[in-house]
């Protein structure tokens, strides 16, 4: 039985991925800060839940060491993430540190903890959830976007380091997925930016935007494909929105992309 370790498994794409892999006959290690509260996942026969805060380096090392002392892990899915939304000038030091620790340093540190295991067995796959905003700019999500762009670039770079050990690093780039990521995120208000913030909130709440939503289950299916297709492919765009927008951005160039993103968000 193959085994996958999933961070951010208590909700959204992580939870859907845990349930899909379990249904496919995999052993699933579902990790999250509040995972112990999920009695549904904990009750599943081939899902083990573990508490893990990816912003805590010491906890990462101890949890991964404990899991690897008991199980041979084949795939790591770094899915934990959190959104910080608001004007960049208003972010506190704590908010900045948490964004980078959750969305960039956390996946890197969890990967580091698994790499000696993968290297010793000469095989393994690391899959990182990045973001469409890593390539297509989004106002008031600049630090989140920067962290996800960093993770995207890190994934491509470290993949080159690890191929000689038959370790593959891949990225999952969702479009607009119907999860609680924005609801659970941190929103920073600002009187100075109130008009622009209002326009962006309106754009996110527009029924036309809702029509672009894909499902967490659909993303989970792409993750399963990335874990099992046996290819050297690195980036996986998960839905039609991601594919369309990334294709447009490549054709536009950066300056036109900036203008396009501004029109979409601000009108």
pLDDT of residue 169: 97
pLDDT of residue 179: 56
User: Which is catalytic among the residues 144, 193, 236, 245?
Assistant: 144
Residues whose CB falls within 8 Å of the CB of residue 264, separated by 6 or more in sequence, listed in order:
203
pLDDT of residue 244: 74
pLDDT digits (tens, 9 = 90+) for 210-263: 555 678 899 999 999 999 999 999 999 887 777 777 776 665 555 555 565 556
Global confidence as pTM: 0.88
Rounded CA separation 230/241 (Å): 25
144 is catalytic: yes
pLDDT of residue 16: 94
Residue ranges of domains in the chain, CATH in brackets: 3-266 (3.40.50.720)
242-251 burial, b if ≥16 CB within 10 A, otherwise e?
A: beebbeebee
pLDDT of residue 256: 55
Q: What angle do CA 149, 150, 151 make, to 5 degrees?
A: 90
Residue for token pair 């601000």: 266
| Parts of the chain with a pLDDT under 50 | none
pLDDT of residue 78: 98
pLDDT of residue 138: 81
């Amino acid at each position: 039985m193959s085994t996958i370790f999933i961070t951010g498994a208590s909700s959204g794409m992580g939870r859907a991925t845990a349930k899909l892999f379990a249904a496919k006959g995999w052993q699933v290690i579902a990790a999250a800060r509040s995972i112990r509260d999920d009695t549904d996942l904990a009750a599943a026969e081939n899902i083990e839940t573990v508490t893990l805060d990816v912003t805590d380096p010491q906890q990462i090392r101890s949890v991964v060491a404990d899991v690897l002392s008991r199980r041979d892990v084949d795939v790591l899915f770094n899915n934990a993430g959190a959104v910080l939304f608001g004007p960049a000038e208003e972010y506190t030091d704590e908010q900045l540190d948490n964004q980078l620790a959750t969305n960039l340093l956390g996946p890197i540190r969890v990967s580091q903890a698994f790499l000696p295991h993968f290297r010793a067995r000469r095989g393994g796959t690391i899959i990182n959830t990045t973001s469409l905003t890593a390539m297509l700019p989004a106002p008031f999500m600049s630090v989140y976007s920067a962290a996800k762009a960093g993770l995207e670039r890190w994934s491509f770079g470290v993949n080159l380091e690890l191929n000689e050990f038959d370790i593959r690093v891949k990225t999952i780039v969702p479009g607009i997925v119907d999860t609680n990521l924005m609801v659970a995120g941190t929103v920073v208000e600002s009187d100075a930016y109130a008009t622009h913030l209002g326009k962006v909130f309106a754009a996110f709440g527009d029924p036309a935007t809702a029509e672009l939503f894909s499902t967490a289950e659909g993303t989970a299916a792409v993750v399963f494909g990335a874990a099992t297709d046996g290819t050297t492919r690195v980036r996986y765009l998960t839905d039609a929105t991601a594919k369309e927008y990334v294709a447009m951005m490549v054709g536009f160039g950066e300056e036109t992309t900036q203008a396009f993103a501004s029109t979409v968000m601000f009108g």
